[in-house]
A and B are shown apart, each in its own frame.
Chain A
């Protein structure tokens, strides 16, 4: 088990290294020059040269990446003497646009993303699985058809459309919830939740559909298993046959998908954050790309990628617990 995890952690590190390298290369190939953007006007060749040196852009790309990795482990500073910008370890880069370490920016944005993710995930898991169960148990009836219709609508509708409709109806028309912005959890759970309820609902609506379909198909498959007949033959009531024996067997793939989705979403819900003007990781990434702020883009990309690969590992470990037949080695 420990050996397995150690092996997987090394694999994770490799994936993250490659992710960072690819991000660097993509930016290197972009036709614009970040140094020129920061140089100001008028931009003499001498100033440009200084800016370039200050930002570390005068080095070859692999050297830049190497310095980035060094900073990740030991921290680094940009410039010399009094004016030097400090970026303590683990340094995810330094944004010259915002004049602050990327880690600080992520520190502000991440709680927003976590808030969105946790609430939305809880909602879509509960509603998705519940809808799927109803569909499976009442398959072929109007219940099933209604749930299928709702699911397909959810899958087929783009997030921004549902989001904008939600803002229009719930926010402006009926004035039930604030239309945008974010309140910290520390400001009180009421304002926090009221600002988040709309993005939660939107993300949940879009994602729950997939869970409903998965739950339904998994359950229908499990219903045909011999051990479900055994459960009935024991005299167990239907609610235990379905709610315990069937659901437990159908749960494994659902848990897998849930873990992956949470990992993905923790990296930033770009569209949702944009629609609701919330400054989470997705917003940060979008801003970084728009401003050619390479350190922000690399920092956020790696941070997000970390959650995806970590979710992968966690799901695999979880599998060992969910299915006693699986042994991790």
Chain B
């Protein structure tokens, strides 16, 4: 009973570190409202990594922006997004939190690594200054201490001669080094939640692995939770604990990474796996692309959004795929036995 209320609360109430409930994001466009994220649910614990996987336009990046509060109307450039649902971080609801509180959390408690470091870093400020600035928003202390901290982080993410390179501008770095700078900036305040939005898409394949490894390393070192957004299941395989497969703003299926690769449940996931190149695959066999293209979000489907591209709709009784939205996960009308029968064989977990 003598415990502080906060501590006892944490003990009795196993509230997840990050809990996203029924998240929906609508954008008003000239052609009407677009629902980019539609009823998304997931939870994330400290020290764990969640992979958000889907094609372009599936709502992955919008989800991360929503968590960071970057779609809020109080951001001048947010445009016209409307967000609903709940995002709870450490039990604190973020969507309804005041702007000031979100600013305190941004960059400190939760921080973000963007896809293209060249455009995400300010071209007119030295990288050291940009990192030091991120530190100084959240910490009292001298300019010198912040500069020192920036150099320390640059060293930590593997930039040689960090003290000198801190004075260089983003365009003076290579792509991989720039992404390291971005990571250093995201880590400068020891964040509890790290969101990486396609962090390796703009990089050479050889550098991709290094960057993913670095993110995994620092995440372990800092004990933070991480969300890794990618369209590449190959990236997910070695790096995350759990996976959420997204399509047209909705969750198709969610599973621990091993089970996802061992027994994927959703035909869309099968499609993604079939179109992922594998080192141990048959080299004469062509990759199988998913037929069709992502749906037009201006006219959302009444049933399963993947149905128009799905080759298994005739295995479902009636036209449930076209008319009914699947209620449970995996979001598929196929009977479990049918799924086991139809699943493309021998897709075991990579590495």
Q: Which candidate, B104-112, B143-151, B290-298, is the interface stretch facing chain A?
A: B104-112
Contact of A237 among B65, B70, B103, B123 (CB under 8 A): B103
Contact between A234 and B106, CB atoms less than 8 A apart: yes
Nearest Cβ in chain B — how far from A255, in angstroms? 12
- Known contacts A232-B75, A233-B70, A325-B171, A226 near B116 by CB under 8 Å: yes
- Known contacts A225-B119, A233-B106, A235-B105, A323 near B77 by CB under 8 Å: no
Given the complex, which residues of A lie within 8 Å of B120, measured CB to CB?
Answer: 226-227, 229-230
Interface centre among B70, B74, B106, B122 (most CB of A within 10 A): B122
**Counting CB contacts under 8 A, is A242 at the interface?**
yes
Given the complex, which residues of A lie within 8 Å of B261, measured CB to CB?
Answer: none
Contact between B137 and A230, CB atoms less than 8 A apart: no
Alpha-carbon separation in the docked complex, A238 to B185 (Å): 19
Nearest Cβ in chain A — how far from B208, in angstroms? 20
Alpha-carbon separation in the docked complex, A25 to B225 (Å): 78
Alpha-carbon separation in the docked complex, A237 to B74 (Å): 11
Contact between A227 and B70, CB atoms less than 8 A apart: no
**Counting CB contacts under 8 A, is B4 at the interface?**
no
Contact between B122 and A245, CB atoms less than 8 A apart: yes
Nearest Cβ in chain B — how far from A23, in angstroms? 41
Given the complex, which residues of B lie within 8 Å of A183, measured CB to CB?
Answer: none
Alpha-carbon separation in the docked complex, A242 to B137 (Å): 15
- Known contacts A242-B76, A248-B124, A249-B123, A229 near B70 by CB under 8 Å: yes
Contact with B along A230-257 (1 / 0, CB 8 A): 1111111110011001001100000000
**Counting CB contacts under 8 A, is A224 at the interface?**
yes
Given the complex, which residues of B lie within 8 Å of A245, measured CB to CB?
Answer: 122
Query: Which chain B residues have a beta carbon within 8 Å of chain A's beta carbons?
Result: 65, 68, 70, 74-77, 103-108, 111-112, 114, 116, 119-125, 133-134, 137-138, 169, 171, 185
Q: Could you jot down 27 A-B contacts, CB within 8 Å? A: A223-B76, A226-B116, A226-B119, A226-B120, A227-B121, A227-B123, A229-B65, A229-B70, A229-B77, A230-B120, A230-B185, A232-B77, A233-B68, A233-B107, A233-B111, A233-B114, A234-B111, A234-B134, A235-B104, A235-B106, A235-B138, A236-B107, A237-B103, A245-B122, A249-B123, A249-B124, A325-B171
